[in-house]
């Protein structure tokens, strides 16, 4: 189903850098080309993926069931184990067994319950993270450390970055050597700013050699980078469904827990994580479900889950796997590298180039990145700014084409040529 990129082997570099080439490349069949509706030139799939008819229809179908069945939907439809069902469908994308994945809660809540669980279970008292992590991860870890009477200033150990953009797996191993009290390692699969893909297998191995539990924040990789979480022995993982999975704003998140930990008491227990067969006995004591479903907490918000179901149906219908999405993503990010090198010498590509070291987005560094991103927004090119100096361009492989990449780079060229970015002041707040 994937036939990217287009063009042919005789195309010269100059050919590839024309919009005509990009349009022709998009002419090659991509089976999801008509499936998503995104505003403008939408390079934000790593922040919020776009809507699809498939997602909207799945919501409509759920609303119709609600209309028809009311509360009986919990027993007469498949609502009761909605999170487990979705989990078993996402499991192959992350290389997990069906009972190791559930869709539940938000990513941050999942960090709280999983870090809390494994900090309690672990013999160590420190958590190893890195200084380039998404802030919510550190907020959650600090809260869990405080909860256990530990001191976040001393017990949150951070791997430093050598270049301010990437994390070296050797430095993770060195930090483990230097801090034998580390009981939990929490690392991102892909760094949210630079887009570096970390070596999940190597970090998991190093953590286990030091008797630490290892978890990954896969928010920036699920749906665009295939994983082998179970084979690599990763203990737990969390991710968002609203990025590459296109599950909609605030979509319910995903979590993975390796089978060897099933049956462990979750740190945030709630009745939806109870053993299913006896959940409605309303027992006084909590019996955790025998699978990853135990880390659910309360009633699943189905309206924030149905869009993902629609998207997964769409991927199945069109025969698109995460390997296909990765292949297309690499072709699109390669094209962005090529265009940026040729046309944007004022910017620095801040994303590692090797396929094994990059996720699904390209970070371009420029001292006035904020102004550039604002000027692009005025031109309907949707990117985002991440302090201090990065514009992130995400060619989400489900919906972005080669011509979109060309248009985004061309718009940046025009902004820099005209100085349009200089009209913006300092970065303010707000979500982009």
Positions touching ligand PLP (CB under 6 A) are 106-108, 134, 136-137, 188, 192, 217, 219-220, 240, 253
Helix, strand, coil abundance in the chain, percent, nearest 5: 45, 15, 40
Q: How far is the CB of 217 from ligand PLP (least distance, A)?
A: 5
Sheet holding 384-386, edge to edge: 348-349, 362-365, 390-393, 384-386
> Which one of 89, 126, 144, 243 is the catalytic residue?
243
By C-beta, is 304 or 320 nearer to ligand PLP? 304
By C-beta, is 253 or 409 nearer to ligand PLP? 253
Do 392 and 386 meet the contact criterion of CB atoms below 8 Å apart? yes
Using alpha carbons, select from 415, 396, 410 the residue that is nearest to residue 51: 396
Is 402 marked active-site? no
Do 370 and 391 meet the contact criterion of CB atoms below 8 Å apart? no
Distance CA 230, CA 364 (A): 33
Q: What is the DSSP letter of 2?
A: B
Q: How far is the CB of 319 from ligand PLP (least distance, A)?
A: 29
Q: How far is the CB of 124 from ligand PLP (least distance, A)?
A: 23
> Which one of 26, 244, 392, 407 is the catalytic residue?
392
By C-beta, is 127 or 375 nearer to ligand PLP? 127
Is 243 marked active-site? yes
Is 341 marked active-site? no
By C-beta, is 77 or 136 nearer to ligand PLP? 136
Q: How far is the CB of 191 from ligand PLP (least distance, A)?
A: 8
Cis previous bond, 388, omega within 30: yes
Is 126 marked active-site? no
By C-beta, is 249 or 263 nearer to ligand PLP? 249
Residue indicated by tokens 């180039």? 353
Residues with Cβ < 8 Å from 360, sequence gap 6 or more? 45, 46, 190, 195, 220, 221, 224, 225, 244, 329, 333, 394, 395, 396, 397
> Which one of 99, 133, 217, 389 is the catalytic residue?
217
Q: How far is the CB of 134 from ligand PLP (least distance, A)?
A: 4
Is 134 marked active-site? yes
Distance CA 411, CA 428 (A): 22
Which H helix or E strand runs over 112? helix 107-121
By C-beta, is 136 or 158 nearer to ligand PLP? 136
Q: How far is the CB of 155 from ligand PLP (least distance, A)?
A: 21
Which tokens hold the place of 124? 């160590």
Distance CA 31, CA 320 (A): 8
Looking at the annotation, which residues are catalytic? 134, 217, 242-243, 392
């Amino acid at each position: 189903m994937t036939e990217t990129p287009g063009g042919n082997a005789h195309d010269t570099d100059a050919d590839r850098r024309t919009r005509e080439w990009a349009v022709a490349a998009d002419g090659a069949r991509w089976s999801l080309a008509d499936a998503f509706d995104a505003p403008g030139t939408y390079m934000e799939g790593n922040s919020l993926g776009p809507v699809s008819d498939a997602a909207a229809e799945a919501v409509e179908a759920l609303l119709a069931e609600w209309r028809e069945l009311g509360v009986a939907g919990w027993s007469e439809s498949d609502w009761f184990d909605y999170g487990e069902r979705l989990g078993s469908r996402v499991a192959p994308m992350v290389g997990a067994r069906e009972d190791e994945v559930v869709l539940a809660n938000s990513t941050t809540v999942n960090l709280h319950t999983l870090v809390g669980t494994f900090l309690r279970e672990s013999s160590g008292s420190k958590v190893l993270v890195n200084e380039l992590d998404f802030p919510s991860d550190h907020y959650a870890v600090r809260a869990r450390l405080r909860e256990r009477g530990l001191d976040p200033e001393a017990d949150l150990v951070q791997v430093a970055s050598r270049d301010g953009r990437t994390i070296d797996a050797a430095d993770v191993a060195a930090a483990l050597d230097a801090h034998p009290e580390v009981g939990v390692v929490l690392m991102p699969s892909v760094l949210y700013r630079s887009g570096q893909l970390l070596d999940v297998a190597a970090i998991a191995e190093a953590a286990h050699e030091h008797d630490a539990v290892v978890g990954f924040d896969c928010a920036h990789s699920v749906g665009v980078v295939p994983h082998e979480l179970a084979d690599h022995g990763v203990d737990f993982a969390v991710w968002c469904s609203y990025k590459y999975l296109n599950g909609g704003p605030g979509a319910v998140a995903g979590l993975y827990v390796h089978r060897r930990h099933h049956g462990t008491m979750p740190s945030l227990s709630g009745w939806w994580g109870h053993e299913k067969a006896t959940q409605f006995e309303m027992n006084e004591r909590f019996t955790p479900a025998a699978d990853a479903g135990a880390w659910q907490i309360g009633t699943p918000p189905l309206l924030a889950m149905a869009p993902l179901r629609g998207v997964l149906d769409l991927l199945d219908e069109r025969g698109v796997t995460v390997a296909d999405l990765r292949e297309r993503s690499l072709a699109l990010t390669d094209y962005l590298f090529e265009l940026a090198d040729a046309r944007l010498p004022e910017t620095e590509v801040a994303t590692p180039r090797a396929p094994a070291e990059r996720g699904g987005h390209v970070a371009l560094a420029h001292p006035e990145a904020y102004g550039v991103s604002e000027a692009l927004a005025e031109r309907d090119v949707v990117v985002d700014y991440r302090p201090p100096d990065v514009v992130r361009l995400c060619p989400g492989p489900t919906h972005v084409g080669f011509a979109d990449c060309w248009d985004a780079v061309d718009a940046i060229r025009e902004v820099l040529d005209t100085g349009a970015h200089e009209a913006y002041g300092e970065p303010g707040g707000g979500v982009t």
